[in-house]
Amino acid sequence: MHRSLRGRLLAAFAIVIALSLFLSASGFVLLLREQQVDSAEQRIGLLVAPLTQRAGNMELNGWPRELMREDLEQVAGYYDIRILLLDNVQRVVIDTDVANSMLGERLDLPAATPTPEPQEDGRPAGSMSSFHTVRTNAGGEDLYLFTTAAERVIPTWPPWTPQMQLVIAVPAGDVTSAWAALLPRLSVAGLSAAVVAVVAATLLASRITKPIAQMTRASEAMARGDLQQRIDDAGSDEVGALASAFNQMSAQVARSNRAMRDLLANVSHELKTPLTSIQGFSQAMVDGMADDREQSREMAAVIHDEAERIRALVDDLLYLSEIESGTLQLNLDAVDVDAVVSDTARRFRYLAEQQDIEIRLAPAAGEIRADGRRLEQVLANLVDNAIRYAPAGTEVLLRTYLIGDDAAIEVHNGGGAIAPDHLPHVFDRFYQVDPSRSDDRHSGLGLAIVHELVQAHEGQAVVESSTDSGTVFTVRLPVAGPASDRPRRRLRAREQAPREPGQASRSPGRYSA
């Protein structure tokens, strides 16, 4: 029936409001009913004493019963009551209701008590009610009968007591249903409260469902390919938290999609050159364009080198994918960081000498728990990168030291500073700070692999660069090793956290540091 969430909320609110109003009104009427009955009795009972005094004065003055009846009929019509006058044996001698007259009927009423003596200060004695109330069936009607509670003595000398007793008769329904007069006002108040509650419920339902409707529209837009979606998440309640989570998810999906497009574009670009070479030289060999055997061998060598380049690129991509998917196993053991740094320096010393670069060591870290082979890969990529961008005649410094519970490895070169707008991207896949300094041996994945391997060890990789001090890559690894032998997959989101100038983020997210 109610297909939308808003409709179901409104229906639920309406049921709750109606039930609340019904229970409140019922309780209020029950509490008010007795009070209204008592109030009606008091209002009628207070007429007994003065009317009894009036009838006594008429009896004292010798009024004939006909005149007394006419007088009492006028009073009864004014107050909209029925007046009975009883003789000394409680037989009805006057009845102001001619249509249903009870003349001659005898009523069984409680006897009046003697009037108590007044107190010394002249105030009436006691606090008893001035009238009696009896509910009885008389003349075929359910009536409330009101009589005086004490004998009335006419202040004459000698004192004289009236012989007739005045009774006010009221249909029981007029007393017991006195509370019904409040029902119209209660209904108006209830209706007003219901209108206000419905308006408030509508506004509340709209406030609850608005973010959900926004999320629905945003999700549909994302399904159509528009991934740049954001909704209002200003609320601090569960709906606001849901909206905030949706915005984070949307941003992550957009980043992942952008990263996937960038990856495809980069891989396509990296594969285009070697494939072009392979296609060109292989076609030349098929067409018999080689003049001699030596030229054919050269063409085949070019094809082999380009194929090797493609294989290395594919291997690096698969290796990165294995790290990020969490399937890479770390073989943790005690590793002498200083020895690994020394071995890496020895491996690259020949390459450094060819470019007139000196490798200098400053080891002071000792042993940590890590995967030695993966640590060698990290250092090899960092040292290779440092030598490639170091100017001739300078040095590359490899420094290790302990800082708190971590071991730090610094690779420093004195080359030109990396521009601040490049720093956040140095650990991105295929990113080249200076493409002109790249060569066929480097695919642009080395630093991305460094970053992922360091994170697999639950460490941190950062870069700092300035014109005065050059560029320093710092790797910090926990001495005790990662918390588990199986690296956890970490989604890096550089865009979510601000970073200091000259420092790469270690936050989880897209292929970045």
* Strand, coil or helix: 101: coil
pLDDT average, residue stretch 110-124: 51
Q: What is the pLDDT of residue 271?
A: 73
Q: Which two tokens stand for residue 472?
A: 């320093």
Amino acid at 432: Q
CA–CA distance, 110 with 99 (Å, rounded to integer):
27
Q: Given a cut of 60, is residue 140 above it in pLDDT?
A: yes
Residue of 444 and 384 predicted with greater confidence: 384
The helix, strand and coil proportions of the chain, stated in percent and rounded to the nearest 5, come to 50, 15, 35
Report pLDDT for 338.
92
For the CA atoms of 424, 429, 432, 438, the dihedral, rounded to the nearest 10 degrees, stands at 150
- Mean pLDDT in residue range 65-80: 90
Higher pLDDT, 441 or 40: 40
Instruction: Taking each helix axis as running N to C, give the angle between helix 65-79 and helix 48-60, from 0 to 180 degrees, rounded to the nearest 10.
Output: 160
Residue with more model confidence, 433 or 489: 433
Q: pLDDT value at position 398? A: 93
Beta carbons within 10 angstroms of residue 158's beta carbon: 4
**The pLDDT of residue 411:** 93
Residue 494 has pLDDT above 60, yes or no: no
CA triplet 441, 510, 384: central angle to 5 degrees? 25
pLDDT band at 407 (very low <50, low <70, confident <90, very high): very high
Mean pLDDT of the residues in the chain: 76
Nearest to 209 by CA among 380, 367, 12: 12
Backbone angles phi, psi at 93, to 5 degrees: -115, -20
| Percentage of the residues of the chain whose pLDDT score is greater than 90 | 13
Residue 439 has pLDDT above 70, yes or no: no
Residues 12-36 as b/e (b if ≥16 CB within 10 A, e otherwise) read: ebeeebeeebeeebeeeeeeebeeb
Average pLDDT over residues 3-7: 66
Beta bridge partners of 84: 95, 167
* Predicted pLDDT at 129: 63
Hey, what are 504's tokens? 């790469």
Instruction: Determine the pLDDT at residue 408.
Output: 93
Out of 24-28, 297-301, 394-398, pick the least confident.
Answer: 24-28
Higher pLDDT, 480 or 21: 480
Q: How far apart are CA 322 and CA 313, in angstroms?
A: 14
User: Could you say which DSSP state residue 90 is in?
Assistant: S
Q: Count CB-CB contacts under 10 A for residue 300.
A: 14
* CA 35/CA 24 separation, integer angstroms: 17
| pLDDT greater than 50 at residue 2 | no
In this predicted structure, the answer to whether residue 383 has a pLDDT above a threshold of 80 is yes
pLDDT category, 326, cuts 50, 70, 90?
Answer: low
Could you tell me whether strands 92-95 and 165-171 are parallel, antiparallel, or unpaired per DSSP bridges? unpaired
pLDDT at 325: 66
Q: What is the pLDDT of residue 159?
A: 66
CB of 379 within 8 A of CB of 409? yes
- Report yes or no: 285 and 458 within 8 Å, Cβ to Cβ: no
Based on DSSP, count helices (H) and strands (E) in the chain, helices before strands. Answer: 10, 12
**Sign of the C-alpha dihedral computed for residues 338, 339, 340 and 344 taken in this order:** positive
**3-state SS class at 369:** strand
Position 502 scores a pLDDT of 38
Is residue 225 over pLDDT 60? yes
| pLDDT mean over 467-475 | 88
d(CA 96, CA 92): 11
Of 513 and 486, more confident = 486
Beta strands (DSSP E) in 92-164 are 92-95, 131-138, 141-148
Residue 301: the pLDDT is 85
How far apart CA 417 and CA 324 sit, in angstroms, is 30
What is the sign, positive or negative, of the torsion defined by CA atoms of 389, 393, 394, 396?
Answer: positive
Single-letter amino acid, residue 323? I
pLDDT of residue 327: 65
**b/e for 241-268, b at 16 or more Cβ within 10 A?**
ebbbebbeebbbebbeeebeebbeebbe
Of 414, 388, 425, which Cα lies nearest the Cα of 502? 425
Domains and CATH numbers, the chain: 5-43+181-209 (no CATH), 46-114+128-176 (3.30.450), 227-324 (1.10.287.130), 329-496 (3.30.565.10)
List 471's β-bridge partners, or say none: 413, 465
